[in-house]
Structure 1
C-alpha cells in the first residue's frame, strides 16, 4: 500500500497516488482499473480482464493485450507495488480507507449493526457522501460497466432506503416527503421506497394521499408487469387503511433513574393474570423459547431482570401466548404476577407509565395518599418494592419502549413479559430484552384450531371447507376463533355457505359473532348514532359521501343543502357525540372506522339518487372553487365548458391570490380524493374539470404535484372511457405540463403531442394553438431554440387569426423567453411588451411576472443592470402576490445575477440564498441545482473561492445524480470559469470540453455555443491561436444556426482577438465590425469594448 493514496469510482474515476492526482485517460485502462478496484485485495484473473475488455469480438491475442493494458496502467499510476502480479492474474493492494467503495460499504455495515436509529442515519449519511454521482460515470460503455453500475446503484438505493427508515423512526416524515416523491418517480416499482412514502404521508396527516400512492403503484404493477404488490406493501396499505396507531409511534428516550420510598408494612401478593385458553393450539417453539428465557434457562450472565417482548400483527395471538406462558411460570414467581392492558391498540387512550405505576404500587398495598407525586418517585418506589421479590410483570398491548421501560423490574429475581404490535427494538438495544416475533399460524395449526373448536359439534367437519376457511381467515388466530364460533351454529351442509359468505360477501360482517356485542364494532357506534336527532343523523350519513380525509363546514353545507349556521350547529352536535373530530374552527374529520360506518348507514338509509346528487353538488362546489383559484393564479389558461355544473351554486371569489392559495393548500387532499373517486365512479366530468383547474395551482404553487399527476392520469382514463376526446386532450395537456415542470421531457412531449393530435382531429383551433405552444416549450427547455420558436410562432399565429387572446398571450410570453435565450434581444423585448399590453384583458399577477422577468434578463444582457433590477423587482412582487414559488425562485436568481454584475454583492448573495431556500422547500431538485449555480457565481464574484467551488461541485453532483443535463453543463461551465480565474488552464479546459461534448451530443445548442466560446478564450489565454479560432468559429456557427445575435457578437469578439494576435488585423477588424452589426446598436458592455478595439486598429 502507498501512503496518501485514494481511489474513487463512485462518480467519475478519480485517482490520487502518493499525493499526486493521476489521470487515467485511455478507455481500456479505465476498464482494467475499475475492475481491479471493484475486486480490491482479491485475485482478478486475466480471463476475467479479457471478458471485461471485450464483450463479443475477443481478439486472438486478448490475454497478452490485457496484460499490456495492466503494464501501461502501472506506468500511469507510477506506484511499483500497488498492482501485484499473482498466479493467473493480478491484485490491487489497498487499505480500507483508500477506496471510496470500501469506505461506503464499511459505514453501511456499521450502520446495519447499530440499534440506534440516530447513529444509523448518521453513518449511512456519511456512507452516501462517498458518492459523487453515478458510479463509473466516465468508464466507456460496455457490458461490464452496465452490470457493475446496476449492482452498485442497487447498493446505493439500499443504503438510501436504510437511511430513510432511520429518519422515519426519528420522526422526520414531513421533511422526507419531497425526497421520497422524487425517488418513487425515479424508481416506480421499488416497493420499499413506495412503502416509506406511504408511511411518511400517513404520519404527515395525509392518509388519503398515502392510500392513493398505493393504488397508483398497484395499478402500474398490474398494467405494466402483471403482478400485485408484495405482501409487505399490502400489509402496510391495510394498516394505513385501518389507522393502525402503531404506525405513528417513533423512537422514545430511556426513563430517569429510580427514586426510593418507604415500603408499606403489609405486603399482599397480587395475582392479576387473566384466565388462559383451554384450547390453546400451536406456538410450541415460541412458547418454549419464552419459558426458557424467563425461567433462567436462557440467561446469559446479566445482572438485570430478564425481559421478553412478543410482537406481531393484530389478532395474531400475542396476548394469548403471553398469558399461557405466564400461567406456566407462576410457581417460579411466588411474590406475585402483575398484569396490565396498556391500551396501546386504543387510539390516543394508551395508559401512561404513571397510571400503571400507581396501580401496581396499590396492588402491593400502598394507599393512594402514600404514592409519590412525580414520575421519578413512582419509578423509585416500584423498583424498591420489587427489589427483594420474585414477581412476573406482564405488560400487554404496549405502544412503545418508553411506555414500558419504567414498568420493568430492575433486579434479577423478577421478570417481565411484554406484548406489542410494534417490534420494540429499543428494549433490546438499551434493556437487553429478547424479541419474539409471531407470525400467523401454519396451515396445519390453523386446521387444528378450527377442529378443536368445531369438532365437538361436527363429528367429521369437511376438511376442504375448513382449509378454505383457514385460508380466507389468513391463518390469523382471532379470525379463526370467530369463524370457528360461527361454525358451531351451522350444520355440515351450511358450512360451504359460510365459506361463500367469507369469500364473496362482507368478510368483516361474516367474522362477527352475533351473540357477543364485544365482537361487533357496529354495536359500539350504534350507541352514539341512535341517540342523534333525525337531522343530525342524516348529516352524519351524508358525510360518508365525502371522499377526502376531512371536510370544511362550507363544503358540508353544499353537500347537505343547509344554511351555514345550521350546518355549524349540526357538525358541533356530531363532534360532541364523538362521531366526528373537530380539527379547526370550521374543519372536521372522521376516524376511518366511523367513515366506513357512515358509508354503510348512508347506503342503508339514503336514497341512491339523492346520494349521487349530494356528491355531485360537492364536486361542483370544488370545481367552482378551483376555477376561481385558477382565475386568480393564472387567468389565461383555457378550460373546457362547464355545462354540467349546477347553476344554483354561488360563484365564489377570493380577495387575493394569497386567500386562493391558502384554500387550496388546505383542500388539496380532498380535491385529489374527489378526482380519484369521480374518475372511477362518476360523475366523470367532475374529474377532468377538477384536474384542468388544479393545473394552475400545480404549476404556480407546486404542492401536491406528484399526487396531481396520479389524479390527472386517472382523469385521462376516465375521459377515454367516456369517449370524450376533448377532455382527454385537456388531461394530456396537464400531464405533459407536470412532466415538463419536473424535467421529464420525453414523457412531457409524448403527452403534449397526444394533445395536439387530439385537437387536430377534433378541429379545435384553440386547442391546437395551445398544444403547439406547449410542444414548443418542451423544445425550448430541451435547448432546441429554433424549433421551439417556429412551433410557438405557428401557435401564436393561429391564436391571432381566431381571436384567442389568452392563448396568444401564453405564446408571446414563451417567445420572449426563447428570443432572449437566443440572444435576439430586440425581438425578445418586443414580445415581452406585446405580452404586457395583452394582460389587461384578464389581469393576473403571475401572468404579468413572466414578461417582467424576461425583460430583466434582456436588460442584463444589455448591461443595464439597474433597470433590470427594477423589472425583476416587479416580477417578484407579482409572483409573491400570486404565491407562485417556482417562478419566484427563478426571478430571485435573476436578481442575484443583476446585483452581482451591478456590484452589489451583498444583495446578490441574499437573493441567491433565498432562491436556494425556496427551491429546497419546493422539493424540485433541478431547481436547487440552478440555484446552486447562481450562488456559485455570486461567491465567485465576491472572491469566495472555496464557497464558489463547493456550490458548483454540489450542483454538478446533484445534476449527474438526477440526469439533469442543463444543470450539469451550467455547473461545468461555472467550474471552468473559476479554474480559469485561478490560472488552472488544464482543469478549466477539461470542464469546458466536457460541457461542449455533452451539449453537442444532446443538441443543446445554446450551451454548446457558450462552451465553445469559453474554450476559445482559454485557448486564446494559452496563445494557442489556431485552437482559439477553431472554437470561436464553432461558437459562431452554432449561434448563427439558432439566430442568436448576441451570441454571434460574443464569438466574433474572441475570434477577432485571435486573428489580431496572429497578425491578421484586417480579418480581426472585419470580425469586430460584424459583431457590432449583430448587436444592432444596443448599448451593451461588449459594444463599448468592440468600439475601443476598432478605434485602436
Structure 2
C-alpha cells in the first residue's frame, strides 16, 4: 500500500533529525500545519505547501518527487468524493434518518433530496461525506460532489458552470457542453437517467442555484448543504445541524488532540465551552494540542478564555471560525436584497447585547425599526444560520458570532445599543408600576413619565408580565454589563433597578430583583435612588432567607435616608430592617430599630408600618421569653385590619406563626398558619399561595403531624411549579424530603433532594449544601 503524505513527511523529517517546530520554521509554515499533515488530518496539501516543505527538508529530486506524488489525490475512482474527516464524531441520529430517507425506495419521492443546513463550521459537509461513505453500495454508479461556492469570497458558482463540471465528470467533452442553462440541465438529467448515483451539492447559495442541478428521474439521490434555509425545494427532508453536545465536543477534541486531552478533563471542558461546541472550532483547538504535553491543555484553555485571543487561536490561517463568519456576514451586507443588507447591519448591534437571546421587541428598538420589520430581519438571520429561532418572538445568537463582532464594533455604537436595550427594559418595568396600584411614595415621585412612554402599547398587565418573564435573564445580564460601562448606561441601570421592584413582587422573582438592585445600587449618585436600591436589595435577599446580608443592605439604606427628608419611606425601611434583624437573630439591634420604626409610624400616621413594627416587637419579645408578645400581636392585627387588604392581613399571621413555632407553641403556630392560608385563598392570591401552603405543612410537621404535613406541602410544590418559582420549589422539596424520610419513604425523599440540589446548585445557592447533607444521611 502506498504511503500517505503524512507518513512520507514524517519519515523524511525523522531522517534529517528535525522537530516539527524546526521544520515549520525552515519551511515558512505553521507548526500546526505540520502536525495536521503528519497525522493525515490534511491528506492532500497544495503544491505550494509541498514545495515549501521540500525546501525546508532540503530534499533532492527523488525525495521531492516522492512528496509531490504522495500529495496528489487518487485518480480514476468512480467515487469522486473526498473522504470524510478521519476524526468524524457524533451525528448518529442524523445519519440514520437521512440514510433511511435516501434509500427508502418506493416510499421516497422520485428523486429524494436531503438538505443539511446550519452555520458555517457546524459540520454540514463532513456529515454529507460520512453519509456518502455509508451509502456507497446503494449507489454503485458513482458519487459526485459539486462545490457551489455559495458562501465564499469568489462568489457563488453559476448553475451553467456547475452543470458543466457535472457533465465533464460523466464523460462529456468541453466541445459537447451546451451553452445555456436549460439545455445543460436537460443534458445532465438525461446523462444520469437510469443510473443509481449520489450527488452532493455542497455550500449552496439558495434554491435558485440548486434547482437546475437536480436530476429528473428515480435512481439518483441528492444531498444539499447550505448555510441558508431552502424552503423553495419541495418534498425534501431537511436537517438543521446544531453545535455538538458537550460529550460529542469532548470526543472530537480527544480524537484530534490525542491522549493528552483525556488527562486534563476540566481544562478540556473549558476548551469546548469556549469553542461553543462548534465542530470547526473544536477541531482547530484540538490541532493546537497534537504532540503537546498534558499541560498544554490548561494553557490553551486559559488563552481561549480571553475573547480576542480566542478568535485568533481559532482562525487557522484564514480557514477558521473568523473567516467562516466573515463570509456569511459579507454576503448579507453586500446583497442586492434590501432585507439581507439590513439584516447584515443589524447583526453586529445584536452581538453587543450581553444576554442569552434577544426578543423582537428589543431588536426593533436596537435597529430603530417597527417590530414587524425586526421580526423579518431576525428571520433572515436565522435563514442563513447566524441566529437560531427559539420561539416566534425570541432568537439566539451563536456565542462565536458574538465573539467575532466583539472585536470590531466601535465603543460608541456599543453604548448606543446597550442604552436602547436598557431604555426598552426600563419602559416595561415602569409601565408595570403604573398598573400595579401601589400607593404613591418617593419611588413614584422620583419617576418621570417619559420613562414608560415606549411601553405605552403594553396595556395588558398579564401579557406585560409574561414579556418580562421572557426577558428577565437578558435584563439582568444587561444591567450587570451597564454598571461597569459609561455614565449614561449606569444612569439607565439605576432607573431600571429602582423600577424592577414591581416585577419582582408581582412574580416573586426574588433572585432577579436581588441581582438587579444589588448591581445598580453602587452606581446610583443621588441619595434617594441609592437608598431605594439598597433597601430593595435587602428585601429581595430576605425573601430568599439570606437575612444577614439583607440586614446589612437595609442598614446602608437607612444611612442614606438620614441625609434627605422622606419620613414615610424612612419609617417603612426601619420597619423592614427590624423584621430582617429579628430573622437574622440580631435581637438587640432589632429592638432598637423596631422602636424607632414604631415611633416614626405613630408620628406620621402610617398604619401598615405601625402594624409591622408591633409585629416585630412581639416576635423579638417572644425570643426573649417576654409575656408581652401576645399583646403586641393583638395590637398589630388590629392596626393591620384597619390599614390593609385581606391579602396583606395574611402576612402578619404568617409572621406570628413563625414566632410561636420558634418558641415551641405549635398549636398557636398551626392556627396562625392556617388563618394566613385561608385569607390568601379567599383573595385568590395566586403566586403567594405556595409559600402559605409550605408554611402550614412545615408547621404541622414540626408539631409532630408528618402525615398532615404532606397535603399542604404537595400543594405548595404544585403551585411553585405552576408559577415557576424555582426558589420556592427548592425549599418545598427540601421540606417534603424531610417529611417523607420521617414516614420511611426514602426513595421519594431522595428524588426530591436530587431535584432540590439541581435547583440550588445551578444557581450557586447555599441551600445546596443542606440538600447534600440530607442526601448523605439517606
Aligning the two structures, in what range does the TM-score lie when normalised by the shorter sequence? Answer: 0.5 to 0.7
User: CA offsets per residue over residues 727-752 of structure 1, 9 Å max, x none?
Assistant: 33333323333444454444333332
Question: Could you tell me how far apart the structure 1 residues matched to 2:344 and 2:389 are?
Answer: 17
Counting only pairs closer than 5 Å after superposition, residues 719-738 of structure 1 correspond to structure 2 as 719=524, 723-738=525-540
> Does the aligned pair in 2 maintain the 1:620–1:686 contact within 8 Å?
yes
- Residue 362 of structure 1, aligned match among 130, 133, 136: 136
1:679 Cα shift?
0.7
- Residue 684 of structure 1, aligned match among 483, 490, 497: 490
- Residue 364 of structure 2, aligned match among 547, 550, 557: 557
- Residue 779 of structure 1, aligned match among 574, 577, 581: 581
1:522 alignment partner in structure 2:
326
Counting only pairs closer than 5 Å after superposition, residues 501-520 of structure 1 correspond to structure 2 as 508=312, 519=323
Over 3 Å counting, the alpha-carbon distance change for 1:795 and 1:870 in structure 2 is: closer
Question: Could you tell me how far apart the structure 2 residues matched to 1:280 and 1:741 are?
Answer: 71
User: CA offsets per residue over residues 827-883 of structure 1, 9 Å max, x none?
Assistant: 32442353354335xx9x6x45424545777999776978963541332576852x3
1:761 aligns with 2:563: yes
Question: Could you tell me how far apart the structure 2 residues matched to 1:597 and 1:438 are?
Answer: 21
Q: Secondary structure at the match of 1:669?
A: helix
Question: Could you tell me how far apart the structure 2 residues matched to 1:894 and 1:711 are?
Answer: 31
Question: Could you tell me how far apart the structure 2 residues matched to 1:517 and 1:786 are?
Answer: 62
Counting only pairs closer than 5 Å after superposition, residues 686-1085 of structure 1 correspond to structure 2 as 686-695=492-501, 705=511, 711-719=516-524, 723-784=525-586, 788-799=590-601, 801-802=603-604, 824-839=629-644, 847=648, 849-851=650-652, 853-854=654-655, 869=674, 871-875=676-680, 881=686, 883-884=687-688, 888-894=690-696, 897=699, 908-915=709-716, 922=726, 927=731, 931=735, 935=739, 944=743
1:622 Cα shift?
0.9
> Does the aligned pair in 2 maintain the 1:856–1:869 contact within 8 Å?
no
Question: Could you tell me how far apart the structure 2 residues matched to 1:280 and 1:695 are?
Answer: 71
1:663 aligns with 2:467: yes
1:535 Cα shift?
5.0
1:926 Cα shift?
9.2
Question: Could you tell me how far apart the structure 2 residues matched to 1:777 and 1:402 are?
Answer: 52
1:340 aligns with 2:177: no
1:692 Cα shift?
3.1
TM-score by length of 1: 0.40
Over 3 Å counting, the alpha-carbon distance change for 1:836 and 1:529 in structure 2 is: farther
Counting only pairs closer than 5 Å after superposition, residues 264-413 of structure 1 correspond to structure 2 as 319-323=36-40, 339-341=83-85, 342=88, 348-349=122-123, 356=130, 358-359=132-133, 362=136, 366-367=140-141
Over 3 Å counting, the alpha-carbon distance change for 1:814 and 1:654 in structure 2 is: farther
Q: Secondary structure at the match of 1:588?
A: strand
> Does the aligned pair in 2 maintain the 1:812–1:835 contact within 8 Å?
no
Question: Could you tell me how far apart the structure 2 residues matched to 1:616 and 1:633 are?
Answer: 26
Question: Could you tell me how far apart the structure 2 residues matched to 1:798 and 1:280 are?
Answer: 91
Question: Could you tell me how far apart the structure 2 residues matched to 1:851 and 1:543 are?
Answer: 47
1:13 alignment partner in structure 2:
none
2:271 alignment partner in structure 1:
none
Question: Could you tell me how far apart the structure 1 residues matched to 2:4 and 2:728 are?
Answer: 57
- Residue 622 of structure 1, aligned match among 407, 425, 429: 425
Question: Could you tell me how far apart the structure 1 residues matched to 2:588 and 2:476 are?
Answer: 38
> Does the aligned pair in 2 maintain the 1:665–1:703 contact within 8 Å?
no
TM-score by length of 2: 0.53
CA RMSD, aligned part only?
Answer: 6.5
Question: Could you tell me how far apart the structure 2 residues matched to 1:276 and 1:691 are?
Answer: 65
1:595 alignment partner in structure 2:
402
Q: Secondary structure at the match of 2:389?
A: strand
User: CA offsets per residue over residues 127-185 of structure 1, 9 Å max, x none?
Assistant: xxxxxxxxxxxxxxxxxxxxxxxxxxxxxxxxxxxxxxxxxxxxxxxxxxxxxxxxxxx
> Does the aligned pair in 1 maintain the 2:697–2:710 contact within 8 Å?
no
Rg larger in 1 or in 2?
A: 1
Over 3 Å counting, the alpha-carbon distance change for 1:273 and 1:820 in structure 2 is: farther
2:217 alignment partner in structure 1:
none
Question: Could you tell me how far apart the structure 2 residues matched to 1:285 and 1:873 are?
Answer: 87
1:571 aligns with 2:315: no
Question: Could you tell me how far apart the structure 1 residues matched to 2:668 and 2:314 are?
Answer: 78
> Does the aligned pair in 2 maintain the 1:553–1:564 contact within 8 Å?
yes
> Does the aligned pair in 2 maintain the 1:816–1:827 contact within 8 Å?
yes
> Does the aligned pair in 2 maintain the 1:318–1:419 contact within 8 Å?
no
Question: Could you tell me how far apart the structure 2 residues matched to 1:925 and 1:399 are?
Answer: 28
Counting only pairs closer than 5 Å after superposition, residues 157-196 of structure 1 correspond to structure 2 as none
1:590 Cα shift?
1.9
Q: Secondary structure at the match of 2:455?
A: coil
1:888 Cα shift?
2.5
Question: Could you tell me how far apart the structure 2 residues matched to 1:317 and 1:837 are?
Answer: 84
1:419 aligns with 2:419: no
1:586 Cα shift?
1.3
> Does the aligned pair in 2 maintain the 1:544–1:598 contact within 8 Å?
yes
Q: Secondary structure at the match of 2:256?
A: strand
User: CA offsets per residue over residues 267-315 of structure 1, 9 Å max, x none?
Assistant: xx99997999899999x99999xxxxxxxxxxxxxxxxxxxxxxxxx97
> Does the aligned pair in 2 maintain the 1:818–1:828 contact within 8 Å?
no
Question: Could you tell me how far apart the structure 1 residues matched to 2:289 and 2:519 are?
Answer: 36
Segments of 5+ residues of structure 2 without an aligned counterpart are 21-30, 45-66, 91-118, 143-194, 199-242, 266-284, 758-764
Q: Secondary structure at the match of 2:395?
A: strand
Over 3 Å counting, the alpha-carbon distance change for 1:504 and 1:666 in structure 2 is: closer
1:999 alignment partner in structure 2:
none
1:676 Cα shift?
1.6
User: CA offsets per residue over residues 597-634 of structure 1, 9 Å max, x none?
Assistant: 66777649xxx58x756643431221232245567789
1:687 Cα shift?
1.5
Question: Could you tell me how far apart the structure 1 residues matched to 2:321 and 2:700 are?
Answer: 73
Over 3 Å counting, the alpha-carbon distance change for 1:639 and 1:404 in structure 2 is: closer
